[in-house]
Chains A and B, each alone.
Chain A
């Protein structure tokens, strides 16, 4: 059995979903989108899956299209929420988990999807945050992800612009701001997995073809390494089958550079790891 990094990455994202959670992903997020369907087909059959920009509840799409707002994503759903129905539910606290990414992510899990450089005259104007600047305040658990950790430009000491709040912003902690949501719980990258035992990211799992030194070199902030650091658990046959079934167009691959997609793994090679 062999697999590629995009498959393993999506599986690592899927495992952050707990069995009966209500989970939402934003648009432009193919890895999170595929991960939610993988979770629902493996360990989280009782989850409530809210399908991105269509707000369909528990759809059974035959494939994931390259856009987040397509009728194909509503196939098999008995019901689709209205836009306002979804946002009301999330702000009430009825949506348990959301996936968020960013062009920049800081040690506290603040994310920037607005602009690189000064906001008034940005060097790069990014697309924007969708609903994140309200949702990140109230949804209990956030799973963050990036597939561009190795670039060295994504995990930064501080974001040029904070679109979505992590555990602490210059205005204070989530508790000080009075927000009900618990903030980032996981950060999954193509190099490893971080959790947040306090307010800052801590490295807890590592992909076996990567070393901690490589991760340090790619990360713009100091981070703690968990005492029991170990490799990411390899995919199960069921998890791999779920990825391949739900994503025949491989939209997940659009999040990775071509060089990353060459990373392949197999069960026979063992789990040598630089940790």
Chain B
């Protein structure tokens, strides 16, 4: 991996998504209901991407939608679902149960070690757990080693180097300097371990503004950046907007009804581009998600 020179990296969303080829290993930034790279996910679906190997920590509608539309060959996350609130991931679950995808379920700490190996340029790193867990059986690529210093048995996990990391940030500049709010989840590690970062930001701002807020992911790691307002919707991107629980509930109910339900959801929302997506969601709804900071009551009400 070479570092990316400091040039203007702004591209259209369609061109950004074209940097993800069929069969690529794709790391997904964010986690659960926060900062998932949804605009890029939707664009990959519009472009009919196939054969992806998805890598991540704890995910929800990003993985579920890509699986639902047949874009995925292999899933390697620590969790895919909608937590206690909205339950199992309908399309992911269906695909796992029918054998339509390979499920190489992993563990947050293992994926972290594998990404660190890649960013350090090492072939593997050891982890201490995993033995005794059946997760070990899902990963024939792991190997047991004996520590030459202590004699402890450890599990060697190979470097994981995604072809591309898809990240979403509230702000970034034209060169790809990105500012994120905590929790960064694995975004920094994905940026360091992947061959290329493709980023969407809610707003492209001046370099001064990003540096004042703090650069979390530096431009030299980023291959392309695209401005997409509400690019993480229906997940959150603080400080701009909270997650859209009602939309996620609508999606999970639709997807649970089967492929027809997914089709109905997609025909209602996907559109030809993100402008049409935002129109389908509705300006009032999107604006409401930005009111979280007005008061504790307003924030709480968004989640009822």
Given the complex of chains A and B, what is the CA–CA distance between A28 and B129 in angstroms?
22
* Chain A residues whose CB sits within 8 angstroms of the CB of B32 once the complex forms: 27, 53, 67-69
B284 on the interface (CB 8 Å rule)?
no
Given the complex of chains A and B, what is the CA–CA distance between A34 and B82 in angstroms?
18
* Chain A residues whose CB sits within 8 angstroms of the CB of B304 once the complex forms: 249
Q: Which listed segment binds B: A116-124, A184-192, A260-268?
A: A116-124
Give the size range of B's interface with the partner: 35 or more
Contact partner of B31 (CB less than 8 A), chosen from A69, A123, A137, A180, is A69
Nearest chain B residue, comparing its CB with the CB of A170: B132
* Chain B residues whose CB sits within 8 angstroms of the CB of A177 once the complex forms: 131-132
B105 and A128 within 8 A (CB)? yes
Given the complex of chains A and B, what is the CA–CA distance between A69 and B96 in angstroms?
25
Contact partner of B83 (CB less than 8 A), chosen from A62, A66, A162, is A66
B84 and A254 within 8 A (CB)? yes
A42 on the interface (CB 8 Å rule)?
no
17 further interface pairs, Cβ-Cβ under 8 Å (given A125-B92, A163-B134): A54-B182, A66-B303, A70-B236, A70-B243, A80-B182, A91-B128, A127-B81, A129-B105, A131-B109, A134-B110, A136-B129, A137-B128, A161-B134, A162-B132, A162-B133, A249-B304, A254-B85
* Chain A residues whose CB sits within 8 angstroms of the CB of B31 once the complex forms: 53, 69
Nearest CB of B to A80, in Å = 5
A171 on the interface (CB 8 Å rule)?
yes
A211 on the interface (CB 8 Å rule)?
no
* Between-chain CB contacts (< 8 Å), 22 pairs: A28-B83, A53-B58, A62-B300, A63-B300, A63-B303, A67-B245, A69-B34, A70-B242, A80-B183, A83-B57, A119-B134, A121-B99, A129-B107, A129-B135, A134-B129, A137-B131, A165-B129, A179-B129, A179-B132, A249-B304, A251-B85, A254-B85
* Chain A residues whose CB sits within 8 angstroms of the CB of B243 once the complex forms: 67, 70
Can you list, as one digit per residue, whether each of A225-268 has a CB less than 8 Å from chain B (1) or not (0)?
00000000000000000000000110100110000000000000
A7-40, CB < 8 A from B: 27-30
Given the complex of chains A and B, what is the CA–CA distance between A66 and B34 in angstroms?
13
B253 on the interface (CB 8 Å rule)?
no
A126 and B88 within 8 A (CB)? yes
A66-B245, A71-B238 known; A127 and B79 CB under 8 Å? yes
A82 on the interface (CB 8 Å rule)?
yes
A162-200, CB < 8 A from B: 162-165, 169, 171-172, 174, 177-180
B134 and A28 within 8 A (CB)? no
B108 and A30 within 8 A (CB)? no
B107 and A53 within 8 A (CB)? no
B296 on the interface (CB 8 Å rule)?
yes
* Chain A residues whose CB sits within 8 angstroms of the CB of B153 once the complex forms: 178
Given the complex of chains A and B, what is the CA–CA distance between A125 and B33 in angstroms?
20
Nearest CB of B to A52, in Å = 9
B99-135, CB < 8 A from A: 99, 103, 105, 107-110, 112, 116, 127-135
By Cβ-Cβ distance, the 10 closest A-B pairs, closest first, are: A127-B81, A134-B129, A137-B129, A131-B108, A125-B96, A134-B109, A128-B79, A28-B83, A66-B85, A133-B133
B93 on the interface (CB 8 Å rule)?
yes
Nearest chain A residue, comparing its CB with the CB of B95: A125
B79 and A129 within 8 A (CB)? yes
A67-B33, A171-B131 known; A28 and B108 CB under 8 Å? no
B77 and A128 within 8 A (CB)? yes
B107 and A122 within 8 A (CB)? no
A28 and B81 within 8 A (CB)? yes
* Chain B residues whose CB sits within 8 angstroms of the CB of A136 once the complex forms: 129, 133
* Chain B residues whose CB sits within 8 angstroms of the CB of A254 once the complex forms: 84-85
Nearest CB of A to B87, in Å = 9
* Chain A residues whose CB sits within 8 angstroms of the CB of B181 once the complex forms: 71
Given the complex of chains A and B, what is the CA–CA distance between A169 and B131 in angstroms?
10
B189 on the interface (CB 8 Å rule)?
yes
Contact partner of B84 (CB less than 8 A), chosen from A62, A71, A249, A255, is A255
Nearest chain B residue, comparing its CB with the CB of A80: B182
A135 on the interface (CB 8 Å rule)?
yes
Nearest CB of B to A41, in Å = 17
Given the complex of chains A and B, what is the CA–CA distance between A83 and B184 in angstroms?
7
* Chain B residues whose CB sits within 8 angstroms of the CB of A145 once the complex forms: none
